[in-house]
Amino acid sequence: MKTIKVKASTEYEVIIDKGILSKVGELSLPICGACSACIVTDDNVDPLYSSIVESSLEKSGFSVIKFVIPHGEASKNTTSLISLLEFLAENKITRSDCIFALGGGVVGDLAGFAAAVYLRGIKFIQLPTTLLAAVDSSVGGKTAVDLIAGKNLAGAFHQPSLVICDYTTLDTLSDEIFADGCAEVIKYGIINDRPLFELAKRGIRENIEEIIAACVLNKSRIVAEDEFDTGMRQLLNLGHTVGHAIEARSEFAISHGSAVAMGIAIVSRAATTMGICPEADLAEIIDILRGASLPTECPYSAEELCEIALNDKKRTGDTISLVVPYSIGDTRLYKIKVGEICGFIGKGLKK
Ligand code: GLY
């Protein structure tokens, strides 16, 4: 078992262990008392893990209601958000009650945003069941839904009150969903943690508790420093500006993790072409991505990607901040002019 403290505007713990979904009730009791608990989950996770969480909560005196959404990114929208808010109101959930987000990034982002805006803010607890949620999205308080114009365009910073990560839930993930999370693990290694990168090379599944803890520790340090994403937190977007453009261009047929992997490969290749990142580091980055069954070649042209990439939230005026590896374990924000983005992506697409 590993416990990591996140020191943001509110402090909370991330508890990482085997089999702790059956202890959600007792672990949550000191955080919110035996209140009304609303479990938010999706139709993949519900039959696997809702009943274990529900009975643990009930055993500790919580009264439980449940809201289930269809799985997948298409549910992370304003319609689901309003339905969830109406559900909370119909069930007379009050400010002293708590939402439990049981699932991956979509469930966590939606449930977290509902918790941020319902009654101007109630508590929520993250119960991540995917690798991506365990290592990244359940920690740090970014909550959001997608708008027609783009991903995560409506959201709020709202920290969870506790994160309970039972990594035995990762055993039921498909290889593709597990690989999605591997892209985020590799991202943390490249950003500022060469030992984590080396550990990931030795096997992510084989070292899962240590890997999750290392990613969460990295994230907790970054969030403590820049909770509201005005500086170093932007490093967590390595591969994401181009990755989001790939995801959007594919109309979400390409998964987030695959798109981020392609995005990491593209910015790393561009950095090498520009003499910023050594060839040897690029080769290691491409190898580890491929070893995790992630794609490194992109089916779109620079022109097809740059128009969408320019809508990225990281754009300010006529510049955009890209996250660029200078070596494994050393990435930096690299500002380029909007007019140069197409050329930059083009350099990264050349093999
Ligand atoms: N997933 C990136 C962040 O939390 O900032």
Report which protein residue has its CA nearest ligand 1's atom 3: 236
- Nearest Cα residue to atom 2 of ligand 1: 236
Q: Which of 146, 204, 122 is nearest to 170 (CA)?
A: 204
Q: Which residue has the tokens 């009264």?
A: 63
CB of 105 closer than 6 angstroms to any ligand 1 atom: no
Distance CA 82, CA 62 (A): 25
Q: Amino acid letter at 49?
A: Y
Q: In 3D, which of 120, 156, 164 has the Cα closest to residue 12?
A: 164
Of the candidates 211, 161, 222, 164, the residue with the CA atom closest to the CA atom of residue 189: 211
Is residue 164 within a helix (H) or strand (E), and if so which, with residue range? strand 162-166
Q: Positive or negative CA dihedral for 119, 107, 1, 222?
A: negative
35-59: per-residue pLDDT in tens? 999 999 999 999 999 999 999 999 9
Measure the CA–CA gap between 73 and 147, rounded to whole angstroms.
11
Query: Residues 6 or more apart from 61 whose CB is under 8 A from it?
Result: 25, 29, 34
Cα dihedral value 60, 61, 63, 69, nearest 10: -10
Closest atom of ligand 1 to 184 CA is 1
The single-letter DSSP state of residue 47 is I
For residue 151, the CA-to-ligand 1 centroid distance in Å is 13
What does the pLDDT look like over 310-341, one tens digit per residue?
776 666 778 888 999 999 999 999 999 989 99
Q: How far is the CA of 253 from the centre of ligand 1 (A)?
A: 22
pLDDT digits (tens, 9 = 90+) for 4-46: 999 999 999 999 999 999 999 999 999 999 999 999 999 999 9
